Structure 1
Amino acid sequence: MTTRFARGAQVIATLAVAAVAFTGCAGSSDPGPDDAGTELNFVTFTGGDAGIKYENLIAAFEDANPGVKVRLEILAGDDTYNSILTSRIAAGTAPDVFEVLNNDTSQFVEADLLADLSDQSWVEHQIDTVRNLADQSDGRTYSFVPEVNSGGVFYNTDIFEEVGVEVPETWDEFLDVVETIRAAGITPLSVGGKDGWTLQTQWTQMMRASSNPEEGALLNSGELAYSESTTAAIMPAFAELVAAGGFDPNATGVDWPSSANDFALGRTAMMIQGTVALPAIRTAAPDGPFSMFPMPFAAEGKDAPLALAPAATQAVPANAAHQELAKRFLEFWASPEVHTKYLNDAAALSSFTTSASADIDPAFETMSELLPTRGIDIAGFVRPTPAVNTAIQTGMQSIMVGTATADEVLESIDAAQQQQ
């Protein structure tokens, strides 16, 4: 393992339960005698650096299955992706395994195009958030979800210890931490305010920590105005954070890569981001003293949740030429040691209760421990339209530079909502 995992000395107990339940040991998938010379076709839209997780997985599977090859086919992840796959499945030229665009299998399930995976050994070891996905509504499992992503607050553990603050559980505690860090002469939060999406990431995390699917459906349909929902509390709270000195005064002139670098090098104490930001942080600071905590913006009296998004969802076509081998490929992928290596490559949280390793990145240790009890599915939550997204981003930038109030921003968001 690389040095970035050297600090992860302990196994996370909450993820170690039933690790031996999978058939076989990690790295072995008991290849059948007829598999030699077989080529498994794996289709994805994930390439480049992000695709390293698949390349390493495939190499391990081929090592464990002499004579079997996995052909990785990368298609454009655009509007043509689903139609290409649907056509290939209908024509009898389906891949054996494919990554599902936007983690949404509904189109394929409704058309009865996917193999039923319910009898696979890994199914019972999925965390509840994954087990409750829509594609299991008929009591069957049609997809393999190898990872989940979550939002949270990255923080520098050395800085927290130096200034004498603890991980906050509430918004008021978070503001207190910000003020203490600021008083110590350290910028509390990194944010690439020049890139509006980084600010919306903060809004989204605050929304997921405090909203609910029922309200989300009304907001998405336009039946409920943003200013009349629980999301109305986000902009005033963000304005409080700005007023407390949470960000550098010039943060709206800083882009995302620079902000990640500032946090990684200890120039700031925290960064509100998703787990997917870890590679950018580790590139600059492979052994940096980092951890994460959930966004502390929960409804009063409730613990801050981990809003989880399934990622890298895989499916097997019902007419795949090598369906049984494809299922063994997924079994291999789910085996504890193989899966943990995959998670480290993917910089993601586990979708199973069985993936445990002393080599997990320490930045994810706390989040992984909280995941079984605080993980919630984001399906059904607020999904702003492009116009609302723009209003949120420009509005937060305006609050940061002092050209708009929280109420004015809310008015602009409501106006954008009416454009749908």
Structure 2
Amino acid sequence: MKKVASGLIVAILILMVAACSSSGSGGSSENGSGGDQVVLTVFSSMEQEQEQAALQSVIDAFEEEHPNISVDLNTPSGGGYEDLMRVKMAANDMPDLFDTHGWAQLRYGEYVADLSDMEWVERLDPALEPILKDEDGKVYAYPLNQAKDGMTYNATLLEELGIEPPTTFSEFLEALEAVKEKTNGDVTPLWFPGGNPHSLAQFKDVMATPLLITHPDHDYSESLLDGSFDWTNYTYLPEVLLEMKEKGLLNEDVLTAMQPSAVELMAQKKIAFSFIGGSFGPEVSELNPEVKVGTLPALPIHEGDSPSWIGGERYTFAVSEQTPHLEEAKLFIEFLAQPENAKTIAEGTSLTAGLIDVDAENYYSEYYDVFSDVEVQPYFDRVFLPSGMWDVMGTTSAELLSGTLTPEQVSAEMEKEYLRLREQ
């Protein structure tokens, strides 16, 4: 019944999108009086307010410079971006520009125009070329920034508690216990906005790399790629997530909490660790300048391994292959790629720019300097899992924490969906 209901919902959404399309939901040329005003529809997966503000400031400057072009920015909240884009792909009603969020080639490749003739391509960071450029030279999207993911922590709080930032995952678990003990439970050791299960998927995705890839004795990359992976090797992640909940190391409202609450709680020193990145740190310090948020790479799980940043492009803009406003869309991207504008967005998102000639000051720069020798590993799901597994990681984690699934059942469900989606 769930599959039937899901199918009906998708069908209804497709009909709604198609209806919108017939009235001009894509880019349009209108000004209410028969003029030639161009409206570019732009969709982004940005959810944090400071990030959106940085992008909007550049959009405002673009519209001032090009008064005949308006940019209609859409940022679906609550983790709904992927679902909305799936509906739009099914209805063949793509926005003029849209965020490929790590799937420029594998998911969106057939829907995007080639940007290889644009000037900024010569300035693309080589680290992003395998993700955004294929062997034939097609460039799929423009990178607004690139990520170095791991975990974030309340550096001010840990210093006050006399707790050293952990260097291994086992030390991380010990640090969570120490926070709980030293604050008598008044501070949440590890906080998840689990009202959006994608936040739980983020934890799993970040920690899957040290569990299954980077240690030579625990490198399952080949079996993950060829489909023969033994998913019992994954069970440690749901086991440790459930263990943290049972020990009271997670927020009590882990399954209902939403991300906007995190900024205020971290600023009040009520959270020690999280897996929220991007502009989270600057937003906390803006609310309470006395609090500094630090960041750590993904910590090694196996003895003898090294930490890893988990990265790739964070936000991008691709141009729809079917847009009637290709020239205007490219003009917008050219504006975004101007060094001063690329710097504004990189700094507003507290991440590194995607272009080699843009030196952005970053909230986390001191931490990136400390870990400058740490290698950047690609996002686990983008390399080793078929499209659609991100949702599975999130929903199985939520079901685990609600008591619906055991850790072993989580791994079994992951295996079933992994094999099913590989066949699609």
TM range (shorter): 0.5 to 0.7
Counterpart of 1:393 in structure 2 is 398
SS at match of 2:207: helix
Counterpart of 2:192 in structure 1 is 191
Change (3 A) 1:389 1:345: closer
- CA shift, 1:272, in A, is 2.4
Partners of 1:299 and 1:139 lie apart in 2 by 39
- CA shift, 1:226, in A, is 1.9
- CA shift, 1:133, in A, is 0.9
> What's the C-alpha RMSD, in Å, of the aligned pairs?
4.2
Partners of 2:339 and 2:384 lie apart in 1 by 31
- CA shift, 1:234, in A, is 1.9
State the one-letter code of the partner of 2:209.
R
CA contact (8 A) 1:212 1:381 kept: no
State the one-letter code of the partner of 1:72.
V
Change (3 A) 1:298 1:332: farther
Counterpart of 1:256 in structure 2 is 258
Counterpart of 1:269 in structure 2 is 272
Single out whichever of 342-351 and 136-145 deviates more from structure 2. 342-351
CA contact (8 A) 2:63 2:70 kept: no
Unaligned runs of 5+ in 2: 1-34, 77-83
- CA shift, 1:225, in A, is 3.9
SS at match of 1:333: helix
State the one-letter code of the partner of 1:174.
F
- CA shift, 1:156, in A, is 1.5
| 1:314 aligns with one of 313, 317, 342 | 317
Confirm or deny that 1:224 pairs with 2:229: yes
| 2:85 aligns with one of 78, 84, 106 | 78
- CA shift, 1:144, in A, is 0.8
Partners of 1:356 and 1:165 lie apart in 2 by 33
| CA deviation profile, 1:295-354 (whole Å, cap 9, x unmatched) | 314554343222225233223467877766654543432233321212344454432343
Counterpart of 2:25 in structure 1 is none
CA contact (8 A) 2:201 2:390 kept: no
- CA shift, 1:161, in A, is 1.9
| CA deviation profile, 1:193-233 (whole Å, cap 9, x unmatched) | 56654434322221134334995785588643421x3x233
SS at match of 2:304: coil
SS at match of 2:143: coil
Change (3 A) 1:103 1:172: closer
Number of residue-to-residue matches in the alignment: 360
Higher RCO (CA < 8 A, seq sep 6+) = 1
Unaligned runs of 5+ in 1: 1-36, 89-93
Change (3 A) 1:161 1:127: farther
Confirm or deny that 1:207 pairs with 2:192: no
CA contact (8 A) 2:62 2:335 kept: yes
State the one-letter code of the partner of 1:70.
I
Change (3 A) 1:232 1:123: farther
Partners of 1:139 and 1:413 lie apart in 2 by 38
SS at match of 1:288: coil
SS at match of 2:275: strand
CA contact (8 A) 1:340 1:356 kept: yes
State the one-letter code of the partner of 1:71.
S
**1:302-341 mapped onto 2 (5 Å cutoff):** 302-316=305-319, 326-327=329-330, 329-341=332-344
Partners of 1:79 and 1:254 lie apart in 2 by 25
Partners of 1:386 and 1:217 lie apart in 2 by 23
**Normalization by structure 2: what TM-score?**
0.67
Change (3 A) 1:374 1:244: farther
- CA shift, 1:387, in A, is 5.5
**Normalization by structure 1: what TM-score?**
0.68
Counterpart of 2:125 in structure 1 is 126
State the one-letter code of the partner of 2:85.
D
SS at match of 2:383: coil
CA contact (8 A) 1:292 1:364 kept: no
CA contact (8 A) 1:170 1:297 kept: yes
**1:348-359 mapped onto 2 (5 Å cutoff):** 348-358=351-361
SS at match of 1:132: helix
CA contact (8 A) 1:189 1:271 kept: yes
CA contact (8 A) 1:391 1:409 kept: no
- CA shift, 1:414, in A, is 0.6
| CA deviation profile, 1:230-281 (whole Å, cap 9, x unmatched) | x233234445645776335x35476234455322310122222343655774
State the one-letter code of the partner of 2:71.
L
Partners of 2:103 and 2:254 lie apart in 1 by 35
| 1:233 aligns with one of 217, 232, 236 | 236
Partners of 1:367 and 1:279 lie apart in 2 by 15
Partners of 2:71 and 2:317 lie apart in 1 by 13
Partners of 2:132 and 2:88 lie apart in 1 by 21
